[in-house]
Amino acid sequence: MNSLSHLLKESWALVEDRQDKVASHFYARMFLSDPQLRDLFPVHMDVQRARLLDAIVSSIQTVDDPVRFGEYLRSLGRDHRKFHTEPQHYETVRFALLDALRTYCGEQWSPAYEQAWRDGYDQIAAAMQRGAEEDAGNPPYWHAEVVAHERRSRDIAVFTCHTMQPLEYEAGQYLSVETHYQPRLWRPYSPANARRSDGTIDFHVRAVGAGWVSSALVRKLQPGDMLKLAAPMGSMTLNRQSTRDIVFVAGGTGLAPIKAMLEVLAGYNRNRWVNLFVGARDRDDLYDLETLLAAAERFPWLQVIPACSNDPGWGGEEGNISDVVGRYGPWDNHDVFVSGSPDMVKATMRTLAELRVPSIRIKYDAFGDM
Ligand SMILES: NC(=O)C1=CN([C@@H]2O[C@H](COP(=O)(O)OP(=O)(O)OC[C@H]3O[C@@H](n4cnc5c(N)ncnc54)[C@H](O)[C@@H]3O)[C@@H](O)[C@H]2O)C=CC1
């Protein structure tokens, strides 16, 4: 660890257990110095409170690996164009961040910490601004009209929208979505299809307890509604050069990006065997099984293994998908893609480690509950 990242981690550890208070102070300072910034955030700040600070702190802590995170930060900068972020906003955030840290570290704050946070923040801000500049030819976000909406289970919906301008993304990536039912709350979802020439995109969404956006997308959204979609992010994409067989592991609506990659493979694959493991709580939640089984009939290289974790006797594999994939191994010579809740991803990574799958062959994009 170089000294910059050591100083950042050491100083963050001093306030980590009071991060709620650090966040409140940070937002208060930010809105005080630039009241117009308040308009960029949702009405109910409690939902948002942890997000921006979390993102900054975890980004800053990656400064010791600029190659790996450079692209991530640039895409974050592109994504932030949806907020109409201006260069002076980065200054305001920097001021508020340092003030919050200084206040909560108290006497333990030192000039070395101050310099480390300034340098770390400047590096991420510069990478994000570069990303935003490179994307200047695209709109800050895309308008899309909902053209179809279907409830597939108690709380899962599949809907299709049509973007007014072309939106380029790679199968496996995600983009943030905003609906007028929950203004200024952006949540990430993955297109569930390869890019189409007609500009339509499918999304799979489950309404989860506190997820206001996901609930609105499942329960209120209807054809004719408009959505905003921000720039694509994420690195869970296919490598066309690879000749290795593939294992896809999907938990719940984490199936969406995997289905998009499967569609891309359907266009060119001849000789890579593909095993698709799909986990759901019960039979009702296997909301796309018929389409997947039809694809397996059509493509001899595809095998679909569905499993239910909470539906004893449903007639197929039982248990968490992370365990089911382990029962079918070894997978040490495969490219593996994992998509689902953060806990599902973690459990699957443990199984894959036990099966000695090299981590360099595993791709995942973990993002929080939606
Ligand atoms: N909608 C989208 O476009 C995308 C969604 N996701 C994520 O996928 C997740 C989908 O959630 P739900 O549909 O509610 O899934 P869920 O909670 O119903 O879980 C589905 C299956 O995943 C496995 N699983 C869940 N928790 C596990 C654990 N702790 N250990 C091992 N296996 C576990 C089990 O096999 C379970 O049956 C969300 O967290 C979402 O953020 C990820 C990528 C894209």
Pick the residue whose CA is nearest to atom 36 on ligand 1: 280
Of the pLDDT bands very low, low, confident and very high (cuts 50, 70, 90), residue 147 is very high
User: CB of 341 closer than 6 A to ligand 1?
Assistant: yes
pLDDT of 328 strictly over 90: yes
Instruction: Name the closest-CA residue to atom 16, ligand 1.
Output: 252
Tell me which architecture the domain covering 3-134 has in CATH.
Answer: Orthogonal Bundle (1.10)
Q: Is the ipTM, as predicted for this complex, more than 0.90?
A: yes
**Could you tell me the residue ranges of all domains in the chain?**
3-134, 142-229, 246-364
The answer for residues whose C-beta is within 8 angstroms of residue 37's C-beta and 6 or more apart is 30, 31, 89, 92
Residue 98: pLDDT over 90:
yes
Topology, domain 246-364: Rossmann fold (3.40.50)
Pick the residue whose CA is nearest to atom 13 on ligand 1: 252
Other C-beta atoms lying within 10 Å of the C-beta of residue 314: 16
pLDDT at 210 (0 to 100): 67
What is the C-alpha separation between 218 and 158, in angstroms, rounded?
8
Closest by CA position to 205, among listed 254, 258, 146: 254
DSSP conformation letters of 122-158: HHHHHHHHHHHHHTTTS-SSEEEEEEEEEE-SSSEEE
Worst-scoring range by mean pLDDT, 56-65, 270-279, 318-327?
Answer: 56-65
CA 252 – ligand 1 centroid, Å: 4
Three-class secondary structure of residue 144 per DSSP? strand
Q: Please identify, by atom number, the ligand 1 atom nearest to the C-alpha of residue 208.
A: 14
Beta bridge partners of 205: 157
Quote the pLDDT of residue 19: 86
Does residue 137 carry a pLDDT above 80? yes
**Ligand 1 mean position to 283 CA, how many Å?**
15
Nearest CA to ligand 1 atom 43: 254
Q: Does domain 142-229 have CATH number 3.40.50.150?
A: no
pLDDT at 324: 98
pLDDT score, position 49: 64
The answer to whether the beta carbons of residues 173 and 236 sit under 8 Å apart is yes
Atom of ligand 1 nearest to the CA of 348: 31
pLDDT reported for residue 134: 93
pLDDT above 70: percentage of residues in the chain: 94
How many whole angstroms from 61 Cα to the centroid of ligand 1? Answer: 27
Strand partners, 247: 275, 336
